[in-house]
Amino acid sequence: MTASTGLPVTQIVGNTAVATISSNVLTILGSGSTTVTASQPGNALYNSVSASQPLIVSKSPQTISFPAIPTVSFSNTSVVTLAATSSVSLPITYIVGNTAVATNRTSNSITIIGKGTTTVTATNNGNTYFAPAGAVQTLIVK
């Protein structure tokens, strides 16, 4: 890249966790904000000059698909396997609303401990590129 003066232009990114620049190619690395600055050093005929532009990179949305949980009959050994998935393959965490009805057992199952109704939330916190997401289903234990 050159300026109208024919002098070389250098480019820098203020926050290299968000983006980098090399050979006039801007590479996005994560979400956040930064400033991209282009500078021309000047010479005997031209003054040095620089220009900056803000760059804001938002996290991409994701969705969680969480199929309905079938009604369960109570027994002392009931385990329900959960099958939520993230549209971007991030790990899912489950949260049981009423721990008198069920409790988390493993990363993809819950143990039934009593009769009643509870919500089960499938969630993940997102990451550098994707926003957090969640979905809720109701569990009924008879």
User: All domains of the chain, ordered by start, with CATH?
Assistant: 10-57 (no CATH), 64-141 (2.60.40)
Burial string for 96-125 (b: 16+ CB within 10 Å, else e) reads bebeebbebbeebebebbeeeebebbbbbe
Tens of pLDDT, residues 85-138: 999 999 999 999 999 999 988 789 999 999 999 999 999 999 988 999 999 999
18 vs 56: CA distance, rounded Å = 9
Tens of pLDDT, residues 15-28: 999 999 999 899 99
Name the pTM for this structure. Answer: 0.70
